[in-house]
Structure 1
Amino acid sequence: MKRASLLPAGIPIGIASLAAFATAMIGGTITDLGPWYDSLIKPDFTPPRPVFPIAWTTIFALCAIAGVSAWRAAKDSRTSDTVIGLFALNGFLNILWSLMFFRMQRPDWAFWELCVLWCSIAVLIVYCGRLSRLAGLLLLPYIGWVTVAGALNWEIVRLNAPFG
């Protein structure tokens, strides 16, 4: 019997919500929009600051729903464990980007790490999408936003290099 059928319905969404919230809080704590960031030359297509928390809150909520949808659709424990592992890796990569960009002040390193993050989102979309079409669709705004973030990151590197 699969573990998903043994849990009350609210437990997986509660756990996924806590994981998304923890990832967002750690990333937010690392993000420093102080003098260093303000001094960077940014491209004209940089969204206004209030857009970022709105976008990330929406993305993390969609990720939690997608994760639960894929996890519940998994046919066996190995598949459900893989879903959890892929989301955990992705959360780690998300936090690592904030650490590199804001705390280490290395947008150049952060850009290359963001490429790995982008690939992890693509893997999530494909893997989870095979289990649950809804899960795959809910992750599309995430890869879209990280694509825009990648373009912003690249332009910040191009406009402000060298770093370190």
Structure 2
Amino acid sequence: MKTTWKRYVLSTAVCAGAATLGAIGTKVDSAWYKNLNLPAWQPPGWVFGPAWTTLYSLTAVASGRVQGRLPSDRERRAFMRDLAANMTVNVAWSWLFFSARRPDASVVDSAVLEASTLRLLKKAADVDTASALMLAPYAAWVGFATVLNAEILRRNPDTAGPLAAGDDR
């Protein structure tokens, strides 16, 4: 099936929507986040914006390519449902970690996100090597983020569970 610009627009809209909603839920300037015991190997804060912009861009392009290479409308719709589900889980992480202040819940979400990302990568690899290569950094980053989230939870066991009364927002 011939790839059209509409497939790229749809993939880009899904990824851009996730980026926007995730950014709204991210609160790196909160006192809660600044007071966490973070590992020395956590990347500096300025890395996250460019990293995620690159990952979302690669994911949008890869997804547009995959849609154009899948043989049926049914498979294209299934791929886009998987992408939308992946981006929903992606957005949920920011809200769980930063807004709800639940590193315990966000580490579970991150593991689900990694499984979902690997599913997208596999579907891409089945039809287009270049698309799979574009999704590989996303899978690697989410894997790293899952380990980082788990380490933050380990170092801050008091952050598990409901918010403490009087926390700043």
Find the aligned partners of 1:27 and 1:116 in 2 and give their Cα distance. Answer: 16
Aligned counterpart for 1:82 among listed residues 78, 84, 89: 78
SS in 1 for 2:45: coil
SS in 1 for 2:44: coil
Q: TM-score, normalised by structure 1?
A: 0.93
Per-residue CA deviation, residues 75-98 of structure 1 (Å, 9 max, x unaligned), is 011111111011001000001111
Aligned counterpart for 2:42 among listed residues 29, 40, 46: 46
1:12 lines up with 2:7 in the alignment? yes
Aligned counterpart for 1:112 among listed residues 80, 84, 108: 108
1:159 lines up with 2:155 in the alignment? yes
RMSD: 1.2
Partner residue of 1:27?
Answer: 22
SS in 2 for 1:45: coil
Partner residue of 1:122?
Answer: 118
Q: TM-score, normalised by structure 2?
A: 0.90
4+ runs of 1 displaced by more than 6 Å?
A: none
Find the aligned partners of 1:93 and 1:46 in 2 and give their Cα distance. Answer: 22
Find the aligned partners of 2:156 and 2:100 in 1 and give their Cα distance. Answer: 15
State how many pairs are aligned: 159
The answer (yes or no) to whether the contact 1:125–1:139 under 8 Å persists in 2 is: yes
**Unpaired stretches in structure 2, ≥5 consecutive residues:** 162-169
Report the alpha carbon displacement of residue 150 of structure 1 after superposing the two structures with TM: 1.1
Find the aligned partners of 2:65 and 2:6 in 1 and give their Cα distance. Answer: 13
